A and B are shown apart, each in its own frame.
Chain A
Amino acid sequence: MSAQNLLIAALVFMAGASAFSELEAQSGMEEAAAYDIGRADVERGRAVVVGVYAVPPGPDAGPGSPAISPQAGACFQCHGMDGKGDKAAVFPRLTDQTYKYLFDSLQDYASGVRQNAVMTPIAKALNDQQMRDVSAYYAAQKAADYPPVDRVDPQILQHGAALAAVGSATRGVQGCINCHGPDGVGLPPTYPYLAGQYARYLEGQMQAWKTGQRKGDGFGVMENIAKRLTDDEIHAVSQYYAAIRPRTVTPEKAEHQASTAPLPPTPSPSSAR
């Protein structure tokens, strides 16, 4: 390296060194602040779920939390108090999803990278604090039972199982199991839980990735995979995950407990109507 280059390098470094540390520190802090599960409250989340809009915002919620109109739908009407969802109406199970996944989903609906006629207006009406609270509420629900398994052509199930386990060499697709875990239990906190999710929901989401209605997984991985798969393959893998039931998994201990501050009384769902 010539002396001239060294001099240039030294000058550039003076600018570069400070940029390095500041940028890194900033981006890290913002991300942590958005997720901060320590500021989420399960009981306030319950109030959002049942549609009690008059709930006093928490001390850190910020002023001007917008109200959701009851017609837009409180969460429980579609997803249930236990996060079971509604198979017939294609409302997904939220039980067993992680706090981060649920929070990210609401953020994605609100920002428009994920589009859905029902969820988009609801997510847009929630502020960050309400999103944290409602995500914490559903992430805490573990007891929703599963519907009976559909009768599906075993060949389709087997095809889906093979895609889930090893992927497809001809399509250049890796197995789902790499990220979504054995038996579809997910890989917390990022990769969602799939076991027992409703087939029509899964298929719809895969189609949404394929058509670009859903984005926002950071690297575009699901988009790429969905585009490579045929409709039959998407159908098969959706049926497979809908049909499996997770083994009993010991839940991880949460490192942060949600706030235990005294809460406003929670009205019953009926009184909220």
Chain B
Amino acid sequence: MTVRMKPVDVALVGGGLTAAILGKELAEAGQTVVALERGGMRQTVPDFQSPTMHDELKYDVRHAYAQDVSVQTITFRNFVGQQALPMRQLGSFLPGEGVGGGATHWNGQTWRFQPEWFVLKSWAEQRYGRGFLDDDVTIQDWGITYEELEPYYTFFEKVMGISGAPGNIKGQIQVGGNPFEGPRSEPYPNPPMKQSHSGFLFGQAAAQLGYRPFPVPSANVTRHYTNPFGAEIKPCMYCGFCDPFGCEHFAKASPQVCILPFALANKNFEMRTHSYVLRVEWDRQAKVASGVTYVDAQGREVFQPASMVVLCAFAHHNPILMLQSRIGQPYDPETRTGTVGRNYTYQTMTGAEVFYDGEKRINPFMAAGALGTAIDDFNNGSFDHSGLGFIGGGYIAAYQTTGRPIYHHPVPEGTPRWGLGWKQAVRQHYNSTVSLGFHGSSIPHPNNYLGVDPTYTDAFGQPLGMLTYDFPYNDRLMARYITEKMAGIAQAMGGKQMSVGWLDDHYSIVPYQTTHNTGGAIMGTDPKTSVVNRYLQSWDLHNLWVMGSSVFPQNAGYNPTDTVGALAYWAADAMIKQYLKNPGPLVQP
């Protein structure tokens, strides 16, 4: 029998970054808010303290802060027609579980998207002509512009205490920053990180080749800083245990440090942990969500009535919840109709390594998640795609994220995989290898989507979500072109040997790549091709909202968190200033 809870104004599905943002803002606007988090509570003190936190086996190898796939997972296949199989171990990406979600165990690389990304389709058509791209490249405009989002980027960066070198303030290009970024109204709240030796070697070679290196904007905060709410963030100690760990120093911007204390202190807000949301309940006649059904810590099925429901779960989980709740029209790859699950995108990553064979001392353990030097000369808006046949791009960076013993042992190609030869190679290369990464965009394709699996079910008996994904041709061309550029920089860095990891195979869900899953419940201007409007409000049920990177129509060549945070504040503003005063659709289709 279902337990029925006292109604609340707002039910948030999830207890991560966007739930913390909305929880605080809506509670302060007088709404009663419940956040339903499938995992447990955790705080900097005592949960993130050393030496237990620096347990690489527990947190990195066994994914203590990521989703428990024995309870619920997804099935995966590369293309339509293939048999999808359950992902029984985490690999390619690590959805967070527990309060703070992925923003607790993230690295902290905090990039704004270039303005072009938000109007990608119209920008590409205007610049390169209508026939430039195949019909298969289903890129879209977001329904929002960079200029509209800019104040929210700025605010989110202040909340998180982002540390970086500005490259463009109100159109004025700044020395030392990213000259290709969109104009920002203010500099970063904190100065950039001290650069690593690997970053220096990369930056030196890149500058020689005519590129413009700069320090990566970071949520590993560089000094004592008080955010607009009064939260105090402390300086990073460069210990190299950011992702997938919690930060013991209050130095990595996370919901626990920056936002949640102010939500939890508000009596209107409740964080209800160990609450596994199964579906959104909704009224077919009135076309409004009526609440959510979840399983609580005692295993009881509970119904939480709410006047407003916001999906703040992991990227692919939001559209899967909508599919399981039968909200909206599921996307069908055969007919290419329907919206929920459409335009699932990811990130196109390649890498290169420069081996100095003991000649340089990199000290990879002096590290931080967002400690890196990058160039943005090959992001989408930075270069000319004419004659290249693809759209998109990304940044190239030398990150020094960690020298952890299990994780970090770069060896050249051809090294034995085990035994004495491997050990000798690790010993030789551990301290004198620089890794470069290309962080490429992901363009949607009609065959890449999220659906519901016909065969497999989760621990609650619900069908699993099903992911169909492979790297589209556009992204393979893009990765080839820019990986060549990256290889050129690697060559110029003057190592003894180098290796380049080309994108030359199908997407595999097994090796870790990145947790930048995007799309599936995308925002846009047309209900036929998007799930939510420009305010992240569902076209179908006006009191249902979707947060996070689920709403990206395509993924840019950057890490998504800055945009996720900015969009959450943008949506919160619309809820409080427009929706709560007069509930109903904020955009008429």
Give the contact stretch, choosing among A115-123, A217-225, A239-247, A265-273. A217-225
Flag if A178 contacts B250 (CB, 8 Å): no
Flag if B195 contacts A24 (CB, 8 Å): yes
Chain B, 501-545, contact with A by CB distance < 8 Å: what is the 0/1 string?
000000000000000000000000000000000000000000000
Flag if B45 contacts A12 (CB, 8 Å): no
Flag if B207 contacts A174 (CB, 8 Å): no
Known A20-B207, A178-B50, A224-B224: A9·B249 in contact at CB below 8 Å: no
Flag if B175 contacts A19 (CB, 8 Å): yes
The minimal Cβ–Cβ distance linking B40 to chain A, given in whole angstroms, is 16
B residues less than 8 Å from A20 (CB atoms): 176, 203-204, 207, 213
* Closest residue of B by beta carbon distance from A17: B207
A residues less than 8 Å from B50 (CB atoms): 175, 177-178
A13 interface hit (Cβ, 8 Å): yes
The one of B44, B195, B235 in contact with A219, judged by C-beta atoms closer than 8 angstroms, is B235
Centre residue among B208, B223, B248 by max chain A CB count within 10 A: B248
| 8 Å CB interface, B163-194 against A | 168, 171, 173-176, 179-180
Flag if A12 contacts B203 (CB, 8 Å): no
B residues less than 8 Å from A172 (CB atoms): 45, 232, 250
A33 interface hit (Cβ, 8 Å): no
Give the contact stretch, choosing among A50-58, A161-169, A256-264. A161-169
Flag if B45 contacts A168 (CB, 8 Å): yes
Chain B, interface SS category:
loop
The one of B116, B208, B223, B248 in contact with A178, judged by C-beta atoms closer than 8 angstroms, is B248
B residues less than 8 Å from A173 (CB atoms): 45
The one of A13, A175, A219 in contact with B223, judged by C-beta atoms closer than 8 angstroms, is A219
The one of A9, A174, A182, A221 in contact with B173, judged by C-beta atoms closer than 8 angstroms, is A9
Give Cα A19–Cα B176 distance, bound, in whole angstroms.
9
B residues less than 8 Å from A88 (CB atoms): none
The one of A5, A165, A219 in contact with B49, judged by C-beta atoms closer than 8 angstroms, is A165
A144 interface hit (Cβ, 8 Å): no
A residues less than 8 Å from B207 (CB atoms): 17-18, 20-21
Flag if B248 contacts A174 (CB, 8 Å): yes
The one of A1, A15, A18, A178 in contact with B180, judged by C-beta atoms closer than 8 angstroms, is A1
Flag if B382 contacts A169 (CB, 8 Å): no
B residues less than 8 Å from A89 (CB atoms): none
Flag if B381 contacts A1 (CB, 8 Å): yes
B43 interface hit (Cβ, 8 Å): yes
| 8 Å CB interface, B543-561 against A | none
Flag if B49 contacts A177 (CB, 8 Å): yes
Chain B, 25-50, contact with A by CB distance < 8 Å: what is the 0/1 string?
00000000000000000011110011
| 8 Å CB interface, B210-249 against A | 210, 212-213, 223-224, 232, 234-235, 237, 239, 248-249
The minimal Cβ–Cβ distance linking A99 to chain B, given in whole angstroms, is 17
Flag if A166 contacts B45 (CB, 8 Å): yes
* Closest residue of B by beta carbon distance from A14: B210
Give Cα A1–Cα B16 distance, bound, in whole angstroms.
34
* Closest residue of A by beta carbon distance from B45: A169
B residues less than 8 Å from A17 (CB atoms): 207-208, 210, 212-213
| 8 Å CB interface, A173-230 against B | 173-175, 177-179, 182, 219-221, 224
Give Cα A19–Cα B174 distance, bound, in whole angstroms.
13
The minimal Cβ–Cβ distance linking A19 to chain B, given in whole angstroms, is 7
Flag if A177 contacts B51 (CB, 8 Å): yes
The minimal Cβ–Cβ distance linking B521 to chain A, given in whole angstroms, is 30
Flag if B45 contacts A167 (CB, 8 Å): yes
Give Cα A178–Cα B49 distance, bound, in whole angstroms.
7
Flag if A221 contacts B234 (CB, 8 Å): yes
The size class of the interface chain B forms with chain A is: 35 or more
A residues less than 8 Å from B173 (CB atoms): 5, 8-9, 12
Flag if B232 contacts A12 (CB, 8 Å): no
B155 interface hit (Cβ, 8 Å): no
Flag if B45 contacts A16 (CB, 8 Å): no
Flag if B49 contacts A166 (CB, 8 Å): yes
Flag if A174 contacts B49 (CB, 8 Å): yes
Give Cα A168–Cα B116 distance, bound, in whole angstroms.
46
* Closest residue of B by beta carbon distance from A171: B45
Give Cα A175–Cα B44 distance, bound, in whole angstroms.
10
Give Cα A179–Cα B208 distance, bound, in whole angstroms.
38
Give Cα A147–Cα B257 distance, bound, in whole angstroms.
41
* Closest residue of B by beta carbon distance from A169: B45
Flag if A221 contacts B235 (CB, 8 Å): yes
Flag if B203 contacts A166 (CB, 8 Å): no
Give Cα A4–Cα B179 distance, bound, in whole angstroms.
12
The minimal Cβ–Cβ distance linking B396 to chain A, given in whole angstroms, is 16
Chain A, 20-32, contact with B by CB distance < 8 Å: what is the 0/1 string?
1100100010000
The minimal Cβ–Cβ distance linking A76 to chain B, given in whole angstroms, is 34
Flag if A169 contacts B195 (CB, 8 Å): no
B579 interface hit (Cβ, 8 Å): no
B132 interface hit (Cβ, 8 Å): no
| 8 Å CB interface, A147-169 against B | 165-169
Flag if B175 contacts A174 (CB, 8 Å): no
A residues less than 8 Å from B171 (CB atoms): 5
The minimal Cβ–Cβ distance linking B423 to chain A, given in whole angstroms, is 18
Give Cα A173–Cα B249 distance, bound, in whole angstroms.
8
A residues less than 8 Å from B180 (CB atoms): 1, 9
B residues less than 8 Å from A179 (CB atoms): 237
Give Cα A159–Cα B208 distance, bound, in whole angstroms.
56
The minimal Cβ–Cβ distance linking A18 to chain B, given in whole angstroms, is 8
The minimal Cβ–Cβ distance linking B557 to chain A, given in whole angstroms, is 14
Known A5-B171, A8-B173, A12-B173: A166·B179 in contact at CB below 8 Å: no
Flag if A169 contacts B46 (CB, 8 Å): yes
Instruction: List 5 interface pairs A-B (beta carbons < 8 Å), by A numbering.
Output: A1-B114, A16-B176, A17-B207, A17-B210, A221-B234
**7 new A-B contacts at CB < 8 Å, known A24-B204, A220-B223:** A17-B208, A20-B176, A20-B204, A167-B45, A178-B50, A178-B237, A221-B234
8 nearest interchain CB pairs? Answer: A9-B179, A17-B207, A166-B46, A219-B235, A169-B45, A178-B50, A175-B49, A16-B175
